[in-house]
């Protein structure tokens, strides 16, 4: 009978919380960055699983301490660059580690305005939205990076329809020409593979530009598109992001529907609250629709 074998293995440290402050002594202003980091390593580590051989294990606490040291010695912005720096360190430092995956989740701290002026060192948590970066360094195969906007909650109270769908013996959903549309945006874009860390460093300024552009496109398209479906609206978003930067290879969206149902109040003295008279709705949590797509750049 064939013996079992280790088909795949990776390990690492998750939920490493890091905060870094940059102090500009000339202006008195400070910049803050808070992030949550995950490190996963792959390589010649099979014997740690099959033979209890810890000599091939880089301790996960070492990964945590390394993250702190890299944050001290290198820029943490943009997150794509820091993720690449950290992942590259593990592959370059440990010959038996062939692949390093680093995920950086950057949390929002927005500078406060006090008396109409930006405060030099006070900030507020501006929602649950995060800016994410996933970097994978494969020895001899370059650096893959996916950037993302996650947790951006949006809603529009009109300008969305859904009709013309499959209607069979299992369908009770009624077509609508106007509805509330709300979702929590998870938008990602995958860059063309970088040959080296130096290539990532050279492209770092574009990362901020791409994030700003993707966020602007997402919000503007969501707001102004006379949406026939979530599917069609997200395709438009993907196409615009690809058009905005030729070094992006693919764009993906995952958009869960946040449903708002009309409440029939006709039982109460004929009170009208459906159709054109609807004003009060019941927000729903689940189940919910989940719409996803990936759009890749066409070959020339």
Output the six-digit token pair for 193: 């593979």
Task: Tell me if residue 212 falls in helix, strand or coil.
Answer: helix
- How many C-beta atoms lie closer than 10 Å to residue 286's C-beta? 6
Per the residue annotation, which of 89, 103, 258, 259 is the catalytic one? 259
Half-sphere exposure of 265 (CA within 13 A, CB side): 15
Tokens 């440990």 appear where?
A: 94
Per the residue annotation, which of 47, 60, 62, 193 is the catalytic one? 60
Whether 74 is catalytic:
no
Q: Do residues 293 and 263 lie in contact, with contact meaning Cβ atoms separated by under 8 Å?
A: no
Whether 259 is catalytic:
yes
Q: What is the DSSP code string of 135-199?
A: EEEETTTEEEEEEEEEEEEEEESSSB-B-S---STT--PPPBSS--EEEEEEEEEEEPPBSSHHH
The counts of H helices and E strands in the chain are: 5, 12
φ/ψ (deg, to 5) at 129: -60, 140
Rounded CA separation 217/214 (Å): 5
Rounded CA separation 73/69 (Å): 6
Rounded CA separation 198/96 (Å): 23
φ/ψ (deg, to 5) at 99: -140, 135
In terms of DSSP H, where are the helices of the chain? 46-50, 60-73, 79-93, 197-224, 230-244
Per the residue annotation, which of 13, 64, 101, 258 is the catalytic one? 13
Whether 258 is catalytic:
no
**CA neighbor of 139 nearest in space, from 73, 83, 89, 205:** 89
Q: Do residues 215 and 186 lie in contact, with contact meaning Cβ atoms separated by under 8 Å?
A: no
Q: Annotated active-site positions, please?
A: 13, 60, 259
């Amino acid at each position: 009978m064939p013996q079992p074998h280790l088909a795949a293995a990776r390990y690492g440290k998750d939920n490493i919380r890091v905060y870094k402050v940059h102090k500009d002594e000339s202006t008195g202003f400070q910049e803050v960055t808070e992030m949550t980091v995950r490190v996963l390593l792959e390589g010649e580590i099979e014997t740690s699983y099959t033979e209890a051989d810890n000599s091939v294990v880089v301790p996960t606490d070492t990964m945590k301490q390394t993250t702190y040291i890299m944050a001290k010695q290198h820029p943490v912005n943009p997150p794509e660059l820091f993720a690449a720096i950290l992942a590259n360190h593990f592959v370059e430092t440990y010959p038996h580690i062939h692949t390093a995956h680093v995920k950086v989740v950057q949390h929002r701290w927005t500078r406060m305005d006090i008396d109409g002026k930006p405060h030099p060192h006070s900030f507020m948590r501006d929602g649950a939205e995060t800016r994410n970066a996933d970097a994978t360094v494969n020895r001899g195969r370059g650096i893959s990076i996916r950037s993302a906007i996650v947790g951006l909650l949006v809603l529009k109270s009109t300008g969305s329809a859904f009709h013309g769908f499959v209607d069979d013996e299992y369908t009770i959903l009624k077509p609508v020409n106007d509805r509330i549309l709300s979702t929590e945006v998870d938008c990602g874009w995958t860059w063309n593979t970088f040959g080296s860390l130096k290539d990532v460093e050279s492209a770092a300024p574009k990362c901020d530009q791409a994030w700003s552009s993707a966020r602007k496109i997402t919000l503007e398209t969501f707001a102004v598109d006379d949406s026939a479906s979530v599917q069609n609206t997200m395709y438009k978003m993907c196409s615009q992001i690809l058009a905005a930067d030729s070094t992006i290879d693919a764009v993906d969206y995952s958009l869960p529907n946040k449903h708002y149902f009309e409440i029939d109040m006709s039982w109460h003295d004929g009170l009208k609250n459906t159709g054109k008279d609807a004003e009060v709705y019941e927000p729903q949590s689940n189940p919910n629709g989940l719409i996803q797509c990936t759009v890749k750049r066409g070959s020339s």
